[in-house]
A = this chain, B = another copy of it.
Amino acid sequence: MGRLQTFDSTTVVQSARDVFWDLGYDGASLADLEAATGVNRSSLYHAFGSKRGLFDAAVADYRDTVIRPRLRGLQADGAGRPELIAYFDELREAVGRLPLDSPRRGCLLVNCATGLASHDEPAREVVEAYRTDLASALRHALAGAALAAADDRSDRTDERVRTLASLSMSAMLLARVNAAESAALLTTAADQVRAWFPAPPPATR
């Protein structure tokens, strides 16, 4: 039928995603996106329609390749105390591992919350969906942990979900401002989980 696309859409979207992650939607210029992807703007427009179209593709990729794997442990059947602790430990490790000038510091969607999402309804909905997903995953694992521990404070579940979601989001918010404090917030979250649910006896065989 005609000439085939010479670039790989996935890698282009991921390169663009990192630019948006770093600079935000408004802050990322077409020149930045051309440089990062190695693709001319006319080809980007041909493939994605507009800057916004490319951004939407980048957000979709972010949800699929960054957020979803992170929450998977919490969402698994039988998830509970260990999965909660692992979630916060892994997130803290990721925050600490990145160099201070990494474009990937923080969370693309948390960054959107005070940017695009303030005055753009579709963007607001994406951020809200992220928050809901996070809260649901935490709630699921908290319920599992309470069940395993025969915890009698399940009336506190809403409080605990909000506390842990809060610590996660604040840590992402602070990732570029104070990386040490960002990590400390995630440590605090894991410590809270440990305090709420008694440590199980060490496994024997």
Contact = CB atoms under 8 A, between A and B. Distances in A.
Contacts of A41: none
Contacts of A115: 24, 114-115
A86 B118 CA distance: 28
Interface string A106-148: 1000110111011100001001100100000000000000000
Interface in A172-203: 173-174, 176-178, 181, 184-185, 188, 191-192
- Give chain A's interface residue range (CB within 8 Å of chain B): 35 or more
Given A117-B176, A173-B169, A174-B113, A192 B26 contact: no
Interface stretch (A7-15, A47-55, A88-96, A157-165): A157-165
Contacts of A174: 113, 131, 169
Number of identical monomers bound together in the oligomeric complex = 2
Contacts of A27: 26
B114 A24 contact: yes
Nearest to A170: B166
Contact of A176 (B114, B159, B169): B114
Nearest to A135: B181
* Chain A interface helix/strand/loop/mixed: helix
A131 B26 contact: no
Contacts of A158: 188
Nearest to A166: B170
B167 A185 contact: no
Contacts of A22: 118
Given A159-B192, A169-B170, A177 B127 contact: yes
A117 B177 contact: yes
Nearest to A171: B166
Contacts of A188: 158-159, 162-163, 166
A110 B184 CA distance: 18
Given A24-B115, A115-B115, 6 more contacts: A105-B118, A113-B173, A114-B114, A159-B188, A163-B166, A169-B173
